[in-house]
Amino acid sequence: MSTRGLYGFRVGGVDKLAFNQCDSYPEGLGLGVKEFLDAIAMDDDGISAIAKGIVLVHEEARPTPAQVGGLRSLGIKVPEPEPEGELDWYHALRSVQGDLIACGCGLRYMTDGRDFLTSIYCEWVYVLDTDTHMLEVHRGGNGNPKAAGRYASRLGDVICGEQTYGPSLIAAVTFEGVRRLSSRSFLEMLACEENCSWIEA
C-alpha cells in the first residue's frame, strides 16, 4: 500500500503543502526534502523567496496552454490529455510530485493538499517553515489532541468509533542543522517510537 503524505512550505503563517502519493516515509520523501536543502545553493532567505513564489492550484483544475508550456520549458514531463478528456493539474504535475528540487529550479506550482492533513491516510508531513527557518516533521496516526505541533489538535477521521486527530510534531530542526546531518543521522533522528520527539533549540 502507498505511504501517503504531504510536503512543502510555510511562509507568512500560511501552509503551502502538496500531496504525495507514495514513499512518504523518511527514507523516501524525507530524504528528498533533505536533498533539497543540501542541493539548493542559497541562504535561508533564498528558500523563503521560493516559498513566497509558490502558487497552490486545485488538482482538478485545468492549467492553461501557457502554463503547460511553462512547465515543459522547465523539462517537466507533462502528459498529453486523453482524446476525450482535459489535462488537470494533478496529472500535469504528477512527474514532479515529491520533488522539491524542481521548485528550486523554477517550478512555481504545487497542488493544494492541505485538506489531506486530517486524513487517517496522511502518514508523514514535511514542512519547510521559512518563518522560523526550520524543517518540521509531523507523524500521522495521532490519537492525542494535546500532542506536539500545530496540526495535532485538528479533528480527523473517526475510525471504529475512535476520534483521530491531525499529525503530531516529532522533529523540528533548523535548515542548517539538517544540512549538517548525514543521511543516516537524519533517518536515525526520525526513527522515533510513538510520543518521541526531537526538537532543536
What digits encode the pLDDT tens for the residues 98-108? 999 999 899 99
Give the residue among 91, 96, 21 at the shortest CA–CA distance from 63. Answer: 91
Q: Would you kindly state where each structural domain of the chain is located, as residue ranges? A: 5-199
Highest mean pLDDT among 16-20, 158-162, 174-178: 16-20
For residue 55, the tally of other CB atoms under 10 A from its CB is: 10
Q: Would you state the cell numbers that stand for residue 197, as one nine-digit string? A: 520527539
Residue 119: CB partners within 8 Å, gap ≥ 6?
4, 156, 157
Q: What local confidence, expressed as pLDDT, does residue 200 receive?
A: 59
pLDDT > 90? residue 196:
no
